[in-house]
Amino acid sequence: QKAGQLFSGLLAMNVVFLGSAFLSSMIFNHVAITLADVWILLSILKVLCLCWITYYLLGTSRQPHAVLYRDSHAGPIWVRGSVLLFGSFSILLNVFQIGYSALLIQCKSKVEIVFPSIEIIFICTQAFFLWHHSKDCIQVQHNFTRCGLMLAIATNLLLWLLAVTNDTIHMEIESQLREVERRFEGKAPFPHPYLCNDTTLCTCPNTTICKVFQKGYILLYPFNTEYCLICCSVLYVMWKNVGRRISHHHASHIKPKFRLQGVVFGPLLGATAVIIGICVFMVYQVQATSSVPNRQVFVMYYSYYIVLLPLMSVAAVIGTIIHALEKKELDTLKNPTRSLDVILLMGAALGQIAMSYFSIVAIVATDPRDLLNSLILSYSVLLIFQNITQNVFIIDGLHRQPFAAAAEARHMGHTGQHTVASELPGEEDATASNKQEHVQMPPGKEEEMKEEQNHEDYDQRRVSMLELGQEIRKVSLSYIQSYSHLSWKRRALREISFFLVLCNIILWIMPTFGAHPVFENGLEKTFYGYSTWFAIVNFGLPLAVFYRMHSVGGLLEVYITA
């Protein structure tokens, strides 16, 4: 098994390095290696992936005993949903691109229609494959499947790299364009690096439809990058699950459902934050992109963050403290999905933290007493603090035994054996003393279970009616007390995670759709020099965006299991 993992990993590494070398050559030496060369390489990889996926769908997965086990943790609904959502946006993006190229067919080569078509087929097939097979623990053709999965991961990583580098080129050109606009005060056509290499020749013939294609392309672009990263993470979990055998007990978890009941303040506060954030974002976008950016808009933008980030940090810290108080059992079963989640959270946070530290050093070294600079300084410090506290909160939450599973384990213990006292201290404590506080059950379940227990007690001991009445009274009293005692913790956890979900959504929207103050305020750009700061942002920003999206997923899981 180790050998298969090693070899498929080496395969992916070589493909990624070859692709990165191609990409770098394209960026730094446009003449020798063109974008078309990179596209040819990627198309070959995509076609290979398509062949493998087809073979998997028709051959491997239909063999007898191919899929005996399915990993219940892998590919939760929100992940598969976002694969579908972002996948369809990416397809729309490619349709726009084909339409745009078809309109300007006289000055473009026909390959610019061929490549997006391959991309559409690839996205569709991959989304179908991930929707149906992301939980598979395949038991046949281990090594071939591993190599196929690694090839798909490498292809998606390279697509992401291409998208990220192109995204930043687009940013660069946009900022240059703004300067040109400022100088001439006229309307220049938007020269997208992909769509049009020489702006002078290719201008939109039909203004409305062409503008729609252009704007749609720019708006949908960020979804494509997210799509590639999500596919990578799902494929990686599948790769880890190849050949894995799951014990029956482990596989038979009851999935906790998503319910909105019992949360009030979190959604309210979060919605307020989102609405204010959208207003700030729109003012910022209008102010910062259409005319000369003034300081006011930056002050507004950073003030919003400086108010929001401490709230989020405090919420995360309180959540961590509640987690510590709860003393819930830790879930220590092997779970590749969760390990990956933790690594991705920590890894993606590095991008934001690195950028913040670079900002801090730049500001401290120049002039920290200026108003805007002191705002940026506190913004950076708060971002680091917020990232760390939120990571600790999510990781802590993911390692807790999910609520329903714990209840189910008790349930099974009761119906199965009667000698489970040592394993279930909470249950015993609840009947023994009313002051115990670590029984965590939903009202319906607990009632059901108590009734069952009472029934058993009746059968076994044949107590008198008086005794039974007393016991029922005691149990219901303890239930009410423990519920009212516990529910504040569960409710607080749910409020906090819901609030954080909404905050992370707005913090995801803002950089995704174009607010890049780290680039536009000009402070770090002048300190480090254009190209250096560009490289740092190029590394940090896509990770920061991915971090917000991934946090939303993690927080939703914490919300559900709380």
Contact residues toward a copy of itself (CB under 8 A) are: 2, 6, 10, 13-14, 17-18, 20-22, 24-25, 28-29, 32-33, 350, 353-354, 357-358, 360-362, 365-366, 384, 388, 392, 395, 399, 527-529, 531-532, 536
Instruction: Give min distance, CB of 32 to a copy of itself, in A.
Output: 4
Looking at the Cβ atoms of 89 and 358, the one nearer to a copy of itself is 358
Instruction: Give min distance, CB of 342 to a copy of itself, in A.
Output: 10
Looking at the Cβ atoms of 115 and 533, the one nearer to a copy of itself is 533
Looking at the Cβ atoms of 38 and 230, the one nearer to a copy of itself is 38
Looking at the Cβ atoms of 138 and 518, the one nearer to a copy of itself is 518
Q: What is the 3-state secondary structure (H, E, C) of 274-298?
A: HHHHHHHHHHHHHHHHHCCCCHHHH
User: Which candidate, 545, 535, 478, places its Cα nearest to that of 508?
Assistant: 545
Q: What angle do CA 168, 172, 175 make, to 5 degrees?
A: 135
Residue type, 108: K
Instruction: Give min distance, CB of 561 to a copy of itself, in A.
Output: 18
- Residues near 451 by beta carbon (within 8 Å), at least 6 away in sequence: none
Instruction: Give min distance, CB of 1 to a copy of itself, in A.
Output: 11
Looking at the Cβ atoms of 258 and 357, the one nearer to a copy of itself is 357
Looking at the Cβ atoms of 81 and 522, the one nearer to a copy of itself is 522
- Rounded to whole angstroms, what are the CA distances from 538 to 28, 118, 161, 165, 367? 15, 27, 10, 7, 25
Looking at the Cβ atoms of 315 and 362, the one nearer to a copy of itself is 362
Distance CA 368, CA 350 (A): 24
Instruction: Give min distance, CB of 399 to a copy of itself, in A.
Output: 8
Distance CA 187, CA 179 (A): 12
DSSP H or E segment with residue 161: helix 142-184
| Beta strands 136-138; 67-70: pairing state | antiparallel
User: Which candidate, 321, 387, 386, places its Cα nearest to that of 351?
Assistant: 387
Q: State both tokens at 485.
A: 């005692």
Distance CA 309, CA 315 (A): 10
Instruction: Give min distance, CB of 2 to a copy of itself, in A.
Output: 8
Distance CA 562, CA 560 (A): 6
Answer yes or no: are the C-beta atoms of 230 and 86 closer than 8 Å.
yes
Instruction: Give min distance, CB of 372 to a copy of itself, in A.
Output: 18
Instruction: Give min distance, CB of 19 to a copy of itself, in A.
Output: 9
Looking at the Cβ atoms of 33 and 204, the one nearer to a copy of itself is 33
